[in-house]
Structure 1
Amino acid sequence: MSDALHRSAAAGSSAPPRPNAVVAVLAFAGIVVSLMQTLVIPIVPELPRLLDASASNTAWTITATLLAAAVATPVVGRLGDMYGKRRMLLISIASLISGSVVAALSDSVVPMIAGRALQGLAAGVIPLGISIMRDVLPAERLAGSTALMSASLGVGGALGLPSAAFLADNFDWHVLFWTSAALGAVALVLVLTLVPESKVRTGGRFDLIGALGMATGLVSLLLAVSKGGDWGWSSGSVLGLFAVSVLVLVAWGFYELRTRQPLVDLRTTARRQVLFTNLASIAFGFSMFAMSLVLPQLLQLPEQTGYGLGKSMMTVGLVLAPQGLVMMAMAPLSAAITKSRGPKITLMTGAVIVAAGYGLNIVLMSEVWHLVLVSCVIGGGVGFAYGAMPALIMGAVPPSETAAANSLNTLMRSIGTSFASAVAGVVLAQMTTDFGTTALPSENGFKVVMAIGAGAALLALVLAAFLPGRRPAAQAVTAAGDTGGGDTDGGHSGPVEVSGAKS
């Protein structure tokens, strides 16, 4: 099937008349959903008082979002491939709105946790948006648009912190969630109005057993990682959760390889281009989040420590906000390098920049402008990398598996951030300095975390080196016109259901 004929089949009779609007709406939806990551950070210390609950119980407002997102992202991606990506995008945004309303009406911990879990179920919006772009945008617009959509994950998180801090300082804390609900409602209306449905479908049946198995394994793993510091890494609960995750995920893998229509096509996932992109995503997720853990603490610790800057949460947000803008600004440059040199080079460039940013942070950490500079450098590197990942994934999978493959890649980044939180927590808890009657993380502890962040970026660089070499841009980047989408190791051309026919 020719490129023109395939585009006609995949996107209807022609490309949508307003591609700029489609890109803007999908990127806005991605930013709105990523805001939930930083929404409660300014009020976390106050949650036990606000909800009349213990700190260990209110911590579940963070954990619940993480676990819900981990389970929902691959499931929603698969359902999007089967039943319509726009349809699942709308359901995800509706979940964000309903979760925000539940949290906004909450005055106790249980409904707050429920609301935050519903917000977490919306995490699939970004991979769904990338997949819609592949199906409906003109081929020449794809690289820059998917880079922007991928960067929206970091943009929303960076811009959300100062906004949430401002609202928390000046209004009742419930306003945070009413604002989230309002933004979600705007995104829902815009998607309904301006984003077309992709007609690329896989059909078939949903792998319920595979979904339950993956959910059990992921929840066990991430719960152990996120709660290990509180419960004790050698406690029976944590060790038991790790054991359950290993056993269940191994059994799940065997089952997925033997079922006809698996939730995750592990054979596709094992292709060199997909496998090493996902592994690099874990390393990048780790590296990006390490900065998010270090810089706010350095800014807020008392000046009397000799290395803390004694700033407010509002200042923290303003210091980190430019990072999100830099990530957005890097999207077109990332796309240009991907078109000219291939996404592998773009990913490796991003890894080098992130590692350099952490190296810079080790020697520049005594002034506010030092941390602004460091966050912008690291944000620029992450923008490069996150822009390249969708191109690598979509260049190796058929259109009928785009949403599921992008969702799995997004999940890999989330797993990386979870491990970053755990590792940084252990390091900073062990490397402390006495400040009056309180033990605070030491300056060397922060430097060790920065060095680990740089190491994670260099690991991503090494993993990216194993990716297949550059292919022509028409194949590697503008993969919206592919029917098979195999990588240089050889792919397969799975059947694609388009408007009720097989192509």
Structure 2
Amino acid sequence: MNTSPDPAQPPTSVLPAAETGSTETGATGTTPAGTTPAGTASAGTAPSGTGTAPSGSGTARWSAPELRRLAALIWPGQLLVVAGIVAANAQPQIAQHFHTTQIAWFSLAFTLATIAATPFAVRLGETYGKRRVMLVLAAAGLVGDVITVVAPTYPVMVAGRVIGGMYGPVAVLVLAAVRDLFPPRKVAVALGTVAGSVGVLSLITPLLSGWLLDAFGWRGALWFLVGSTVAAMLLLLSVPETPRRAAAGKLDWPGAVLLGGGLALVVFALGQGGDWGWSSTGFLLALAAGAVALAAFAGWELKVTTPILDLRMLRRRPVATVLIGSSVPQAAFFASQTILIFLALFPAIPHVSDGLGWTTTHNAVVGIPAGLITFAAGVGVGHAVRKVSPRTVWYLGLALLAGGMVLAALYHRDATQIVLTGVVMGLGGGILMSGQQAMIVSVVSPEEQAAANGMSSLLTQVFLTLTSQMLYTVLAADATVVQGTAFYQDQAYTNAYLAMAAVVGLGLLVSLAIPRLRRPTGEAVSPETAPATA
């Protein structure tokens, strides 16, 4: 399972404001949304049925049941990251095994299903209990995983990926469940532990996936994911049920159908444009139908009382420019990871394929420096925004990411070049992923931060879907098809990196419209006064 054609990023909550509470800030800097500094009370809804926080100051001791509960939530919460990396690295082998030129749908099918399922999963978790919903989603994901791994044909595999996409919202629900299952004083540490474990997994998983793919092939790697999903379900069974909140609102079925259907049509049109012709009737009809569905989705969301995406927030310039300006370049960063996977793992065949022919393990080792710098950059942003505007930090990240992609377009022919360009891109990407939260805190009120995070998460997924399909279209322009498998020439990789740099440039153009932002402080930011005036 994965949320993108690249190693999955840490999920951002798509939660009602009452569920996550607000982001706490203070003189020492910004704490991630939904958490608070250790030892202080968390904003938001206190856990029900879990006892009250100890009185007085200081950090409360953790009981054995609480520690077991925390440990049980880590793997289900981070399985999406692990599965994303394993599945992304398996794509080259899968493309060659099934002799398909439509490998993009291996990831896009999962992503589209996750986009449609996440808002409903959150709402149903409020109504029926988050553990129950997570178990149902994990069971669906397990069915999809099994279909994927035993699929006799590629279309069957894609169908399995659609079903497997139902697991996607579990990562979001785990973070939401933490607030219900721990006393307020311990929520910050619990959230930090669950979310922070992604740093370790992001370094270990590429090596694990390399060993699995090199030793057992893509089916062996995907069987590992089946076992991982079973383990996640067993761990969730040991977690108490969360409180139910009956007033969860109506489910926005029309919005989900219009969003998912519109995106699917646009992505399908872009994927077939090269074969049909960019001026063909089929391409134009599919693209127009997708555009009409998305336009209808926008109109519907502005009228419905419980929308999937609260597009009304985008009527405010600071919020719109921050959310869109941050989602677009992040989508390009995540999509660009696919370029390296195919470049590294596809074979070197004269006049056919200009891949490097590395093993998956070797590629994972080469990627360690970039992974470390990405992690370090994310930590550094939290310190930087105490002294300078989040917008300034954001522009630095955009410049580094775009520059790194241009360098990668020119220099990608050996391990040294890939390490150096990867470090530059990783530095920029790490700044963007962390800088986005600092900017969101600066333009919305505490009550809106959860909704803004949800909007940001879904927008990033939407732009990632479109950007990924554009990436595969660019790669296909300089491909040679041998026995049904598309192999890419050097020019394809060059153009792909340049295309992603152009998408980052588009994000920069939008970001230039972001008004001056205040540095995060303990003062609540009202919707009307979010931009700084000083």
Q: Whole-Å Cα distance in 2 between the matches of residues 214 and 9 of structure 1?
A: 31
Partner of 2:111: 66
The answer to whether structure 1 residue 169 and structure 2 residue 201 are counterparts is: no
Q: After the TM superposition, which of the residue ranges 79-88 and 383-392 deviates more from structure 2? A: 79-88
Check conservation: 1:206, 1:261, Cα contact below 8 A.
yes
| 283-292 or 6-15, larger mean C-alpha shift | 6-15
Q: Tell me, in whole angstroms, the C-alpha distance in 2 between the residues paired with 1:472 and 1:161.
A: 36
Moved more, 300-309 or 444-453: 300-309
Name the counterpart of 2:161: 116
Per the alignment, residue 250 of structure 1 pairs with 295
In the TM superposition, what is the alpha-carbon distance from 1:371 to its structure 2 partner? Answer: 0.4
The verdict on how the C-alpha distance between 1:11 and 1:487 changes in structure 2, with shifts beyond 3 A counting, is: farther
- 1:414 equivalent to 2:450? Answer no
Residues 251, 366 of structure 1: alpha-carbon distance in 2 compared, 3 angstrom cutoff: closer
- Per the alignment, residue 373 of structure 2 pairs with 326
1:265 to 303, 310, 315: 310
Measured against aligned partners, the alpha-carbon deviations of 1:49-70 in whole angstroms (never above 9, x if no partner) come to: 86xx663687654442232123
The answer to whether structure 1 residue 365 and structure 2 residue 412 are counterparts is: yes
The within-5 A match list for 1:338-357 is 338-341=385-388, 343-357=390-404
CA distance in 2, matches of 1:88, 1:405: 23
Residue 302 (str. 1) matches residue 340 (str. 2): no
State how far apart, in whole Å, the 1-side matches of 2:387 and 2:413 are: 39
Equivalent residue, structure 1, for 2:37: none
| 1:364 Cα deviation from its structure 2 partner | 3.5
Deviation of the 1:219 alpha carbon: 2.1
Change beyond 3 A, Cα 1:324–1:463: same
Question: Aligned ranges for residues 63-462 of structure 1 at < 5 Å?
Answer: 63-79=108-124, 88-89=133-134, 91-109=136-154, 111-128=156-173, 149=195, 152=198, 160=205, 162-171=207-216, 173-188=218-233, 190=235, 197=242, 203-289=248-334, 291-299=336-344, 300=346, 302=348, 309-341=356-388, 343-393=390-440, 405-430=452-477, 441=488, 443-462=490-509
Contact 1:33–1:156 under 8 Å retained in 2 = no
Cα 1:197/1:227, change in 2 over 3 Å: farther
Q: Which residue of 2 aligns with 1:497?
A: none
% identity of equivalent residues? 25
Distance 2:497 2:504 in 1: 11
Cα distance change on mapping 1:21 and 1:475 into 2, 3 Å: farther
In structure 1, C-alpha distance between the alignment counterparts of 2:70 and 2:401, rounded to whole Å: 27
Q: Find the aligned partners of 1:191 and 1:341 in 2 and give their Cα distance.
A: 42
CA positional deviation for 1:489: 4.6
> In 2 relative to 1, CA 213–447 (structure 1 residues): closer, same or farther, beyond 3 Å?
closer
Distance 2:246 2:41 in 1: 17
* Deviation for aligned residue 1:267: 0.8
Quote how far apart the aligned CAs of 1:106 are.
4.2
Relative to 1, partners in 2 of residues 1:233 and 1:28: Cα closer, same or farther, differing over 3 Å? farther
Number of residues paired by the alignment? 479
Alignment correspondent of 1:498: none
Deviations 1:465-486 (A, max 9, x none): 433433352458xxxxx7xx74
Which protein has the bigger helix share?
1
SS at match of 1:171: helix
Partner of 1:33: 80
Task: Give the Cα–Cα distance (whole angstroms) in 1 for the partners of residues 391 and 127 of structure 2.
Answer: 29
Distance 1:56 1:125, change over 3 A: same
1:328-387 superposed Cα distances (whole Å, 9 cap, x missing partner)? 333322222344445434433321221232243245333202202222321232122112
Partner amino acid, structure 1, of 2:250: R
Unaligned runs of 5+ in 1: 477-481, 492-503
SS state at 1:467 partner:
coil
The one-letter amino acid paired with 1:295 is L
Contact in 2 for aligned 1:162/1:321 (Cα 8 Å): no
Shift of residue 448, structure 1, vs aligned partner: 3.6
State the TM-score, normalizing by the size of structure 2.
Answer: 0.71
**Which residue number corresponds to residue 43 of structure 2?**
7
Amino acid in the other structure paired with 1:119: G
Secondary structure of the residue that 1:264 maps to in structure 2? Answer: coil
